[in-house]
């Protein structure tokens, strides 16, 4: 029993000496619980951007637009008078839906010809598409009933009978960018990106920290005094292995699950390269600054764990608190998934994802430059220590 209590108390002491482990084990549930809670702080989404194409320009079409604008789930960003311009804007993913009011709408309603309002839904994000679809359907159905009941009562039809006969216009919903609403098509590309980020950061965390912890860094510095050469030699293998990982994901995994093909291969390859560069810079920088394998891994995993949740891929970033939106901008996955959605679902060209590619590239170059500076400092200190030891040996 004495041995048991000694070991029992010793385990608490050992645990208390590992500050990172204490923070993860004790603080993790609190921090991540608050993070997730704040992410989904709004039980329902609001102000989702839509566009309206008003080809009628009548008082009745204005009434439809006002009714859509009054729905708290929707926010009318643009009212187009040109259907071609609206379709072009919709193809960029700027709107969650486009509602088109036909040219003869008011006259057809008055003549009881039941015109059709066209609703085109952006299914690149199934969650927001469902919210928009329900909001538009509810608004138009309510307006539809009100218009028809009012017309019938003006013609002398009793109110009760009028309520049972309403159908002023019809509503036609069309789904774009994932017309079947396949959840696998929607989730697999995003989750795969999160997994690749986890894998890259996990292995890169060990690139230099392993050398420092096992005292083998002298073997590296013994080969060359140039920190840039060391940095390149230590990062290039991960790029080459990463190319194999991406080849498997894009060439084997996606076809295996019958995911639709990407729109632009060149845009996808440039995006993947920029994303890999950003991950490399972040992982290598932490590996150099934290000379302990476990701690370097823990720090990067703490960063990567909530990345998908706050990236805006599944839950709209606009519905999160501002501080979470800003935090998400510091994680490479956020920019990668934003661009991936455009390339994958919308078939966007490279020019459309240029902002995300530039951000990821600058992120990678910046962190690699910091890593280079930190490595140069460590190599200089190691060289100085070696000189001092050799001088003392001679003396």
Whether residue 226 is contained in a domain is answered as: yes
Residues 106 and 209 in one domain: no
pLDDT at site 359: 95
Choice between 263 and 11, residue whose per-residue pLDDT is larger = 263
Distances in Å between the Cα of 226 and the Cα atoms of 204, 220, 280, 377 are: 21, 10, 20, 11
Per cent of the chain over pLDDT 70 is 75
Q: Report the distance separating Cα 82 and Cα 321, nearest Å.
A: 36
pTM: 0.69
pLDDT at site 361: 95
pLDDT at site 202: 81
Whether residue 20 is contained in a domain is answered as: no
Q: Which of 148, 176, 204 corresponds to the end of one domain?
A: 176
pLDDT-derived band of residue 355, with 50, 70 and 90 as boundaries? very high
Residues 264 and 383 in one domain: yes
User: What is the mean pLDDT of the segment spanning 374-383?
Assistant: 82
User: What is the mean pLDDT of the segment spanning 381-392?
Assistant: 57
For the chain, the distance separating the N- and C-terminal CA atoms, rounded to the nearest angstrom, is 55
For the chain, strand residue ranges (E) read: 48-54, 74-80, 97-101, 116-122, 170-176
Number of CB atoms found within 10 A of residue 381's CB: 10
Residues 132 and 267 in one domain: no
116-146 pLDDT, tens digit each: 889 999 888 877 888 888 888 888 887 876 6
pLDDT at 147 over 80: no
pLDDT-derived band of residue 332, with 50, 70 and 90 as boundaries? very high
Range of the domain at 113: 48-176
Q: Report the distance separating Cα 59 and Cα 142, nearest Å.
A: 17
Per cent of the chain over pLDDT 90 is 17
Nearest by Cα to 371 from 296, 295, 286, 297: 286
Whether residue 36 is contained in a domain is answered as: no
Number of CB atoms found within 10 A of residue 42's CB: 14
Residues 306 and 198 in one domain: yes
Q: Report the distance separating Cα 97 and Cα 132, nearest Å.
A: 7
Residues 218 and 159 in one domain: no
76 beta partners: 50
User: What is the mean pLDDT of the segment spanning 258-278?
Assistant: 84
Residues 66 and 128 in one domain: yes
pLDDT at site 217: 78
203-254 pLDDT, tens digit each: 888 888 888 888 877 777 777 778 888 888 888 888 887 888 888 888 887 7
DSSP string, 14-47: HHHH-HHHHIIIIIHHHHHHHHHHHHT-SSS---
270-318 pLDDT, tens digit each: 999 999 999 999 999 998 998 888 788 878 887 887 888 888 887 777 7
pLDDT at 333 over 80: yes
Residues 374 and 281 in one domain: yes
Residues 191 and 84 in one domain: no
Q: Which of 125, 156, 176 corresponds to the end of one domain?
A: 176
pLDDT at site 27: 56
pLDDT at site 162: 46
Backbone region of residue 92 per phi and psi (left: phi > 0; alpha: psi in -120 to 50; beta: other values): alpha
Q: Of the segments 60-74, 121-135, 240-254, 359-373, which one has the largest average pLDDT value?
A: 359-373
149-184 pLDDT, tens digit each: 555 445 555 544 544 454 456 667 777 776 656 666
Q: What CATH number is attached to the domain comprising 52?
A: 3.40.1710.10
pLDDT-derived band of residue 392, with 50, 70 and 90 as boundaries? very low
Residues 296 and 372 in one domain: yes
pLDDT at site 160: 46
Nearest by Cα to 332 from 200, 243, 234, 237: 200
What's the structural domain count of the chain?
Answer: 2
Q: Of the segments 7-21, 234-248, 381-395, which one has the largest average pLDDT value?
A: 234-248
């Amino acid at each position: 029993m004495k041995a048991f209590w000694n070991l029992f108390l010793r385990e608490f002491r050992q645990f208390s000496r590992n500050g990172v482990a204490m923070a993860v084990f004790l603080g993790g549930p609190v921090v991540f619980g608050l993070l997730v809670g704040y992410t989904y702080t709004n039980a329902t989404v609001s102000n989702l951007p839509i566009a309206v194409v008003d080809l009628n320009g009548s008082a009745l079409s204005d009434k439809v637009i006002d009714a859509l604008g009054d729905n708290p789930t929707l926010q009318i960003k643009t009212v187009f008078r040109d259907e071609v311009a609206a379709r072009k804007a919709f193809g960029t993913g700027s709107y969650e839906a486009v509602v088109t009011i036909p040219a003869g709408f008011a006259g057809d309603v008055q003549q009881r010809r039941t015109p059709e309002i066209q609703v085109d839904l952006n299914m690149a994000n199934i969650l927001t598409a469902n919210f928009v679809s329900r909001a538009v359907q509810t608004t138009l159905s309510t307006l539809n009933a009100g218009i028809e009941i009012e017309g019938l009562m003006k013609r002398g039809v009793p109110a009760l009978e009028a309520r049972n006969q309403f159908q002023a216009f019809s509503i036609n919903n069309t789904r774009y960018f994932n017309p079947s609403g396949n959840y696998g098509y929607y989730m697999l590309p995003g989750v795969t990106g999160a997994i690749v980020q986890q894998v890259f950061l996990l292995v890169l965390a060990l690139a230099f920290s392993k050398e420092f912890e096992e005292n083998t860094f002298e073997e590296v510095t013994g080969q060359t005094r140039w920190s840039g050469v060391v940095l390149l030699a230590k990062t290039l293998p991960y790029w080459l292995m990463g190319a194999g990982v991406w080849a498997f994901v894009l060439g084997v995994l996606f076809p295996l699950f019958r995911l639709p093909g990407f729109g632009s291969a060149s845009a996808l390859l440039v995006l993947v390269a920029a994303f890999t560069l950003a991950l490399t810079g972040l992982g290598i920088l932490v590996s150099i600054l934290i000379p302990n394998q476990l701690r370097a891994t823990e720090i990067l995993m703490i960063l990567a764990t909530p990345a998908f949740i706050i990236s805006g891929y599944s839950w709209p970033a606009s519905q999160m608190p501002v501080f979470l939106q800003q935090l998400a901008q510091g994680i490479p996955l956020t920019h990668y998934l934003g661009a991936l959605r455009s390339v994958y679902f919308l078939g966007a060209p490279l020019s459309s994802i240029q902002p995300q590619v530039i951000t990821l590239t600058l992120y990678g170059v910046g962190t690699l430059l910091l890593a280079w500076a930190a490595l140069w400092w460590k190599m200089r200190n190691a060289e100085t220590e070696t000189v001092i030891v050799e001088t003392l040996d001679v003396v």
